[in-house]
A and B are shown apart, each in its own frame.
Chain A
């Protein structure tokens, strides 16, 4: 392959393109303005003949390919060529399908198509061919941190798939919380009785598996490196440290029981006969199927009351605001401990909402059959009277304040994640944010610090510049988008599983841990090929920066959502390409614009937006630029076209990897080029973010809030730059937003910089 650039442009006439567009004019544009060496029209470019035609040109030296046909999201198998840089002008979804097929519309439709051809030709000039990251590592071993149900399951599953595993557990035995249980909630038909935990069997399987190495009484005292090449210090209680190399890490550090000492009104700490669920498991293990005795005087319990949601689903300070998900089933199971040993024991469960996910409904029914009493009520207080406890509550069905006596009271408290130190409590997420906060004299940072759940001890001790542990999302649970990308944390190659991710029970943890193991394997395999992990799985491009121009502003190192960039001793950013997700947020952040990818850069987008043919002020043809996130916004726009939704022909749409990659220079370039409006369309940000790169759209939003001032100093209306949160389902809303923009322009007038 030669380094010589040879550009070939192809114009498809299929799918109605030939009828609706003047393809001869498009060919001329590609030749004359786009300076493509080869320009060919084809009746159906995506068919075997069309693809063969392109391949033949490639074989003969073409290495910059422009497909002027359908959206880049369509026909990806057909237009899939090796060792070339390729771009695609979206003439089908983006032009003929979004514009009416009328004589009136013909002119503006053709203008749109012509501009997209110009833009593609301009973009390709700045693209080079991505090659695999030379810094990649190929270690295929997996480190699992935590030997509870989740960690053991991940280890077993990864070993079954043929991967070597190091399983590190901080205590002296495997099994974690589940090993402390007398029995577990059933996981098989007929979901009627508590069953054995299965922990000894799992420990035996791990012991017998030659691929799994267990390290007990050990913690992780240092983690550095990147996927495929992590280096980890594992330190024994005795102080002896070994260094191991692994390809990916699963953090299954589990949970701690919520401290029931925070609930004195429920009698905890006041009477030994008020226990939490863990306390009851200990009593049940001591009884081992016999009568459970109460702690105070060893009397056999004849009546027991369970209080659900103790210190949970609460708005009180110091209590948990969330539902821990397992505790209703757990109390049902514990009530059965009593009923199974002696049906004459009275077991009452006081709940506000009984939540029995999974097959818990059958389990609940089984408990009713065993005559466990369920009562919907809100407990206000537990008091001691003589040697009996009195539970005061409001019966929500009978609507009255009442009370019952019991020998023993069990509090269903929740799970607090062992997610390590909250690094974002100490580190800001954006440089601009710090400045903005200083200006506004109010801190937008650290609003999410939940003091009740912050932990002091680091789990991974990462050497990453952004902090020792994985970023948290809410309530101290590690940030791992639980719907779109479960297990994935904001540290590439490191996955969380089990209750450190969200509250869960044994059955859920096992399923979760299996998923995490698969994700870790995927990362290991991708990194050994020098490619990106999710969500741009397989992408070969990686960020490159021109060190000589760097001002050491630290924007990239602070703002990378994935902590991929460390710092050298002399203060320069140090890119860890294997940790990078290729979002381009660093590229958007850099004020001197020196970060780029082989096929995506400040220039590739800048050239596109400057390539459009800008009508002058009196043409009454405004131009709107949309920078659309390629994950959700761009597909939504495509789908709008597919569904025949019409939008203004004055818009020009450029896909971007993530709004985080939008460099503000593009906005000023657009304004200087004469666009009347710039619209950013990206995913929802904030706590329930949908941004595929977590912080990208949020950072874009922060940057755009600063742009307003700049516009004003240029005497431009701040309305000219807008930032919309859109979802992939917004196929009606996005065309509306585009059409509304045309109206806004009518109100504020055309961009006065046109033609300068």
Chain B
């Protein structure tokens, strides 16, 4: 694999834009942004993150590879779809945000301690195991993500909700012991492996 992380980008030339177009889901749309700022003004998390979609897109054109890919902004996207609905140029902003996050993650330069990134990892590992989400295991691993003490504290805080979910059948009390997986687990794993191969080949990753 070429070390893309070490490549230097020419400012305001097309270098990084081309990389994004080739490797990021819906990245092909970035050049259509007209910098109107409607997305930035529409995002409910606008204050919470450092770079609005508008800025992220401008940074891509400005060749700020490092800053974009290590940004935690796209990890903060809640997929509310406000921006997509309003963008006058009809960019699939939400998808680009997730695409960028995924690309940064695959390159290994996404912010390590970003909680959404960590949750996404837990979720993925949980679901691919059996093909179905095990809610109990997922919640517990989430609560204990930041260590044992924190985990106990969070678990206690969440007891009420947990009981409620049990009562309504949303949580399997025996979840730690058994999992309702899908029938053809190995088939799923094979399919996922193949999909990753195809994607990696396309993105030039190994």
Contacts and interface: CB of A to CB of B under 8 A. Distances in A.
Interface of A: 303, 305, 344, 346, 348, 364-365, 368-369, 371, 373-376, 395, 397-398, 402-405
A404 B14 contact: no
Interface in B1-22: 10-14, 17
A349 B58 CA distance: 13
Contact of B31 (A364, A368, A398, A402): A368
Contact of B62 (A303, A346, A365, A395): A395
Given A375-B62, A397-B55, A397-B58, A348 B31 contact: no
Contacts of B14: 344, 346, 371, 373
Contacts of B58: 375, 395, 397-398
A371 to B, nearest CB: 5
Given A303-B13, A402-B12, 19 more contacts: A305-B12, A344-B14, A368-B32, A369-B31, A369-B32, A371-B14, A371-B31, A373-B12, A373-B13, A373-B14, A373-B31, A374-B34, A375-B61, A376-B35, A395-B58, A395-B62, A397-B55, A402-B11, A405-B11
11 contacts: A344-B14, A348-B13, A369-B32, A371-B17, A373-B12, A375-B12, A375-B61, A375-B62, A398-B59, A404-B12, A405-B10
For the complex of A and B, the 4 pairs showing the least CB-CB separation, nearest first, are: A404-B12, A346-B13, A397-B58, A404-B11
A373 B12 CA distance: 7
Contacts of B55: 397-398
A397 B13 contact: no
B144 to A, nearest CB: 40
Interface of B: 10-14, 17, 31-32, 34-35, 54-55, 58-59, 61-62, 89
A365 B34 CA distance: 8
A376 B12 CA distance: 11
B89 to A, nearest CB: 8
B61 to A, nearest CB: 5
Contacts of B59: 398
B17 to A, nearest CB: 7
A368 B35 CA distance: 12
A307 B107 CA distance: 36
B40 to A, nearest CB: 10
B12 A348 contact: yes
A276 to B, nearest CB: 21
Nearest to B63: A404
B62 A403 contact: no
Nearest to A403: B11
Contacts of A365: 32, 34, 89
Contact of A397 (B31, B32, B35): B35
A374 B61 CA distance: 8
A615 B32 CA distance: 76
B62 A402 contact: yes
A14 B10 CA distance: 82
Contacts of B17: 371, 373
Contacts of B13: 303, 346, 348, 373, 404
Given A346-B13, A373-B12, A375-B12, A398 B62 contact: yes
Among A371, A374, A397, A402, find the residue whose CB has the most chain B CB atoms closer than 10 A.
A397
Nearest to B52: A397
A373 B11 CA distance: 11
A303 B58 CA distance: 18
A481 B55 CA distance: 43
A348 to B, nearest CB: 5
Given A346-B13, A373-B61, A404-B11, A364 B54 contact: no
A171 B157 CA distance: 88
A710 B12 CA distance: 69
A368 B54 contact: no
Contacts of A303: 10, 13
B54 A397 contact: yes
B103 to A, nearest CB: 19
B10 to A, nearest CB: 7
Contacts of A375: 12, 58, 61-62
Contacts of B31: 368-369, 371, 373
Contacts of B89: 365
A236 B14 CA distance: 53
Contacts of A404: 10-13
A664 to B, nearest CB: 57
Contacts of B35: 374, 376, 397
B36 to A, nearest CB: 10
A405 B11 CA distance: 8
B88 to A, nearest CB: 10
A364 B31 CA distance: 12
Among B13, B32, B34, find the residue whose CB has the most chain A CB atoms closer than 10 A.
B13
A364 B89 CA distance: 12
Nearest to B10: A405
A364 B34 contact: yes
A405 B12 CA distance: 8
Nearest to B58: A397
